[in-house]
Amino acid sequence: MNWKVVKSIPLMQVQERVEILTEKYGSLSLMHEEFAKGRVPPGVFDEYIEWTSMDHALRAYQEGEDFEYLADEEMPLGSKQYEKLTPRRLELLDHLGKGLYRSINALAEVVGRDVKNVYNDLKTLEELGFISLTREGRRLVPELLVHEINIQFG
């Protein structure tokens, strides 16, 4: 099974990736010039498109918009990881996709489940890379990282 996801990439990771591309190729404006002249070598095109998309997201953020950068990624999930996607964990992903929950308690209340069980399920989803848990004071705030999951068979 091949898993593909559309995943939120955090600001810091995007900035690190842009630094790597800048070291590798110089500047994005130089890449634009090379692309306009048709001189982008094979294999570099995907990095050029990625860099351009990240640049747009960073510029929007600098102009006061919320930061959001989504990228397609392959996820190597084997049968053991697949088994961890229980109906209750998928339900939590669905709820996180519909709204922002400022605490695990708030999410547990909405789904009508025990906080400890929801916490354990969220930790599993975090290990799988589907969510992040961020500490805000004494609370852990769950945040959905994956916005779309595609499973390809065969």
Do 94 and 145 lie in a common domain? yes
Structural domain ending residue among the three candidates 52, 70, 88 = 70
What's the domain range around 44?
Answer: 9-70
Cα R_g (the chain), whole angstroms: 19
* pLDDT score for 99: 85
Q: Is residue 99 a part of any domain in this protein? A: yes
Q: CA 11, 72, 16: angle at the middle one, nearest 5?
A: 30
Whether residues 37 and 101 share a domain: the answer is no
> Are 37 and 84 in a shared domain?
no
Distance CA 99, CA 57 (A): 22
pLDDT at 154: 66
Number of structural domains in the chain: 2
CATH number of the domain residue 92 falls in: 1.10.10.10
23 lies in the same domain as 65: yes
Write phi, then psi, for 109 (nearest 5 degrees).
-65, -45
Q: Where are the beta strands (DSSP E) in 28-95?
A: 70-75
In tens digits, what is the pLDDT along the chain, a chain of 154 residues? Answer: 678 889 888 899 999 999 999 999 889 998 888 888 888 777 788 889 899 999 999 999 999 999 999 988 888 777 888 889 899 999 999 999 998 899 999 999 999 999 999 999 999 999 998 999 999 999 999 999 998 888 877 6
> Residue 1: inside a domain, yes or no?
no
- Beta strands across the sheet bearing 2-8: 70-75, 2-8, 146-152
Residue 30 pLDDT: 87
**Rounded to an integer, what distance in angstroms lies between the CA atom of residue 119 and that of residue 19?**
36
To the nearest 10°, the Cα dihedral for 16, 141, 63, 34?
Answer: 30
Q: Are residues 97 and 122 in the same domain?
A: yes
